[in-house]
Structures are given as C-alpha cells and as structure tokens.
Amino acid sequence: MNDQPDWREQLYNLLREEDVSIFSYVPDAGHKYLIDRSTEDPEVHAVPLTTEEEGVSLAAGAHLGGKRAVLLMQSSGAGNCINMLSLIQHGRFPFLTFISMRGEYGEGNPWQFAMGQAVEPTMTAMGVQCLTAYTPEDVDAAAKAALTMAFGAEQSVAVLLSQRLLGAKRFDGR
C-alpha cells in the first residue's frame, strides 16, 4: 500500500463533508467499503434495499425532509430503477448514485454485458447524467462534480465506477 489515502476512504469522507447522511444500497463488492463505513457510522443511516428502485424514491423522500441521500448500486441495478426515475426527472429532485460497473472493461461473465452496456443509454434516457471514473483521481473529481450538480443544481447524476478502477472478477476458474 502507498501512503495516499485510499480513494474509497476519500470518497466516504467527501460525501460526509457534503452532508450526505443517508446511504442506501444493494450489496456489491465494488461498494463494500462505503457500505461498511456507512453501516458503522452512528451519524448516518445505512439502508439495505431489496431492490435498487427503493433507493430512488428513498432519496426523493429524504429530500422532502431536507436530507441528502446517495444510492450505491451495481450496473445491473440501474435497470431496476428505470420507471422510478420518473419521480426524479418529473419532480426535479436532486439525485446522486454511484454505480459500480460490470459488463465492461475486463468482464469475464457474459451475463453482465447486456445491462452493463445499457447503463449509460438508459440512465441518460431517464435524465440521469453519467460521469465515469477510470482511476482513483477520477473518483474524487467526478464525485465533487456530481455533488455540485446534484445538490447544488438539483440535477440527477450517476458516477460510474469502471472495472478499470475496481478490477474485474475472474471467471476462468483460476
């Protein structure tokens, strides 16, 4: 390990500094750190979801109550959110999600490509602007940009965490 703080820790600290106090998630390896940190943090609510669309309306409800929420999900989960995003787009709610990508750079499981490749077009179609992070440096910059866009300008934003950043699982039995 080098001396730089891990991007995951930086990201969690940034979200907390920006007053995000509700973290909803469907478990995913790419989000393990944020899920663990938010679960252990007594100052925030970590909300496990049964399906990702719950996190969309949860974020809208949090905004009605004056709080900031983020949704942590895998690319497969983006597809589960589509109709619920009409609440966000039509209601012009601020919305911020971090999507750990599958079905792209280095993917070994062919099942993942259909939804993975559809994330950007479907999110864009529902009014969610996508920023992609390929490196640890990208994460900090994209997260700061996305926080400003979502909670400053009431936009709907997804930060896509590429497998170039997260690393791809092996499916070759080795």
Partner 1 sequence: MTAKYVLDRNKAVPALIGNPDDFLIVAGLAGPAKDIGHMTDKAFLFGGAMGGAVTAGLGLALAQPDKRVICVTGDGDLLMSLGSLATVGVMKPSNFSVVCVDNGLYQETGGQQSHTGHGIDLAQVASGCGFTVTRDISEESEIEEASGLLRQSNGPTFVLLRVDSTPSPKGVRNLQASETKTAFREHLLGHR
Please give the residue ranges that form the binding site for partner 1 (CB under 8 A): 22, 45, 47-51, 53-67, 69, 83-84, 86-87, 90-93
Residue carrying structure tokens 């400053």 = 152
Q: CB nearer to partner 1: give 7 or 95.
A: 95
Q: CB nearer to partner 1: give 66 or 110.
A: 66
d(CA 124, CA 156) in angstroms, rounded, equals 10
Instruction: Please state the closest distance from residue 55 (CB atom) to partner 1, in A.
Output: 7
Residue carrying structure tokens 């709907």 = 156
Instruction: Please state the closest distance from residue 15 (CB atom) to partner 1, in A.
Output: 16
d(CA 53, CA 130) in angstroms, rounded, equals 18
Instruction: Please state the closest distance from residue 82 (CB atom) to partner 1, in A.
Output: 11
Q: CB nearer to partner 1: give 61 or 79.
A: 61
- Maximum pairwise Cα distance, the chain: 49
Q: Measured in Å, how far apart are the chain's first and last C-alpha atoms? A: 24
Cα within 13 Å of Cα(137), Cβ side = 0
Q: CB nearer to partner 1: give 69 or 146.
A: 69
Instruction: Please state the closest distance from residue 52 (CB atom) to partner 1, in A.
Output: 11
d(CA 147, CA 157) in angstroms, rounded, equals 8
Strand partners, 159: 98, 131
Q: CB nearer to partner 1: give 43 or 172.
A: 43
CB 71 within 8 A of CB 24: yes
Instruction: Please state the closest distance from residue 122 (CB atom) to partner 1, in A.
Output: 16
